[in-house]
Chains A and B, each alone.
Chain A
C-alpha cells in the first residue's frame, strides 16, 4: 500500500489533495482494502456545501457501508461521475481516484490534518501491522 506525500489524511481514512483554493478528495488505499470490493458510492451534488468532519456521502462494499467524512469545508465543484458505474476504480487506484472536488472555504483547515508520515504511523497503530 502506498500513500503519496502530497496528500493530507484524516483519521477516517480520507485523503485531500490541495491545489490552491481547490482540492480533490478520495479515500486511502488502507480504506479501500479494509472495505473490500466497492460496489456503490453515494456523493453530494455539485454546488452543495460540505463541512469538515461531517459526512458528505457514503461508500459501500459487498459487506458494509461506511460514511465519508469531509477533510475540510467547502463547496462541491465537481463530482466524479465515473464512480456511478465503475466504483471498483477506487479499489484499483485509491490514491488517484478522486470522488469530489471542492472549493475550500478555509485552506488553513488542512493544517489540522495528518501528513503522510503521521498517517502511516496512525494506521500502523490502528491496524496492528
Chain B
C-alpha cells in the first residue's frame, strides 16, 4: 500500500451501526464517524428533540473518546492538563472542564470523572480523539500515572430527558435517585456488572450516560432493552441532529464552533469552569494576561427577529452596516419554536436586547441579542 492510501481516512463505525441501520436511521459522516443523524420513523429531528424535552431519548454517543489516568500522581496530572479544579472532586463525582493550549485556547472540552482515589476518566470529543490522547499523554509524562486510551473499549449510550431516570431504573437495581447531577455510580445494568453510570449529558435535560463493553452483541442488547423499557414512557432513539439542536438550546459548546484552538476561555464565557486559584495548569499564564487585557469578543445568543435561519459562519453586522462578528451555531430551535444562534461579537455589542443583523444567503436579516441559555429546564424539587 502506498503512503497516500495508508493516510486516507476511513470512516469508523460504532458497535451499534447495524442496529441503527436496522432502525432505518439516516446515516451521516461526523468527525470521521458514520453516525445516525435522525430516525425518520420517529418523525424526524423535531420529534426526537421534543421527546427528550418532554419524555426521554436515547443516543449512541460511542464516538466520544475516553482517557483514563491512574496512579499516585493522577490528580496532579489532571490538575496540570485541565482548567477546572479536580481536587474538589469527591470519589464518584464529575466536572465539566477543558484541556487548554499554553495560550489559553482549547485543545478540547472534557468531562472529568473521578472513578476512585487515584483514578480519573476524561470523556472527550470524537473529532479530537487522537489529538487529545496525544496531548494528555505528552503533558502528563512527568507525573507518576498511567495514561490509557479507552475510547474503543466502551459503547457509550446517553439516556436523556425528564423520564430518563425511570427508563434506566427499570434496568438496574442501583437506586438512581441517589446519584446527583454530575455524579456517577457503578451499577449492574441489564445484567452487566460494574457499569459506569454517570448523571451527565449534552441536552440541557436530566439524564444519564452509561459506558458498556463495546462488543456488538452487548451493545445491541442494552440499546434494545433501553428502548423496550422506555416504551411506556415514550422514549425514542435520537440522532446527532437532535443532539445538536438540544445542546444549542441549552448553550452547551461544541468544539470547532463555540470553542476552538483560536478561542480562549474568557471569550467562550466558560469562566466558572476555570479555576485560576488552583495549582499551575497549562494555559493559566496566558489566561491571567488575557483577563487583565479584557476580551475583544464574547459569545452571545441571538434570536432572529425577521424570518431566516442563521448558520455557522454567517456574518453578523451592526445596524450601521459594519461587520462585527460571526455565527458559530444556528438552527431552528424545535422546543422553543424560534430561530436561534450563537455568535461572537465585541462586548460592546453584546447588550441584551440590542438589534443586530445576520447575513443569510446575501440578505441582512434582523436579529436580537437575548439571554442564554435559550432553554433552561425547570428545577424540580428533589
Q: A residues bordering B, Cβ < 8 Å?
A: 33, 36-37, 39-40, 42, 58, 60-63, 65, 84, 91
Cross-chain contact A62 with B307 (CB below 8 angstroms): no
Cross-chain contact B45 with A63 (CB below 8 angstroms): yes
Cross-chain contact B40 with A62 (CB below 8 angstroms): no
Give 19 A-B pairs besides A62-B332, A91-B44 with Cβ atoms closer than 8 angstroms: A33-B40, A36-B37, A36-B44, A36-B241, A39-B309, A39-B332, A40-B307, A40-B332, A42-B308, A58-B361, A60-B309, A60-B332, A61-B45, A62-B45, A62-B241, A62-B331, A62-B334, A65-B361, A84-B307
Which residues of the other chain, B, contact A37 by a CB distance below 8 angstroms? 44-47, 334
**Partner among A33, A36, A40 whose Cβ is within 8 Å of the Cβ of B308:** A40
Cross-chain contact A63 with B361 (CB below 8 angstroms): no
| CA–CA, A51 and B164, complex, Å | 52
Cross-chain contact A63 with B309 (CB below 8 angstroms): no
The yes or no answer to B311 lying at the interface (CB within 8 A) is yes
| CA–CA, A91 and B40, complex, Å | 11
Cross-chain contact B26 with A36 (CB below 8 angstroms): yes
Q: B residues bordering A, Cβ < 8 Å?
A: 26, 37-38, 40, 44-47, 241, 245, 307-309, 311, 331-332, 334, 339, 361
| CA–CA, A62 and B361, complex, Å | 16
Shortest CB distance A38–B (Å): 9
Cross-chain contact A40 with B44 (CB below 8 angstroms): no
Which residues of the other chain, A, contact B45 by a CB distance below 8 angstroms? 36-37, 61-63
| CA–CA, A42 and B339, complex, Å | 14
B contact patch SS:
mixed
Cross-chain contact B245 with A62 (CB below 8 angstroms): yes
Shortest CB distance B241–A (Å): 6
6 closest Cβ pairs, A-B complex: A39-B332, A37-B44, A62-B45, A37-B46, A36-B44, A37-B45
Cross-chain contact A65 with B311 (CB below 8 angstroms): yes
Shortest CB distance A26–B (Å): 19
Cross-chain contact A62 with B308 (CB below 8 angstroms): no
23 CB < 8 A contacts A-B: A36-B37, A36-B40, A36-B45, A36-B241, A37-B44, A37-B46, A37-B47, A37-B334, A39-B46, A39-B309, A40-B308, A40-B309, A42-B308, A60-B309, A60-B332, A62-B241, A62-B245, A62-B331, A63-B37, A63-B45, A63-B241, A65-B309, A65-B361
| CA–CA, A63 and B48, complex, Å | 13
| CA–CA, A42 and B311, complex, Å | 15
Which residues of the other chain, A, contact B334 by a CB distance below 8 angstroms? 37, 62
Which residues of the other chain, B, contact A33 by a CB distance below 8 angstroms? 40
Q: Which B residue's beta carbon lies closest to that of A55? A: B361
| CA–CA, A77 and B28, complex, Å | 39
Q: Which A residue's beta carbon lies closest to that of B241? A: A63
Pick the most buried of A40, A58, A63: most chain B CB atoms within 10 A of its CB.
A63
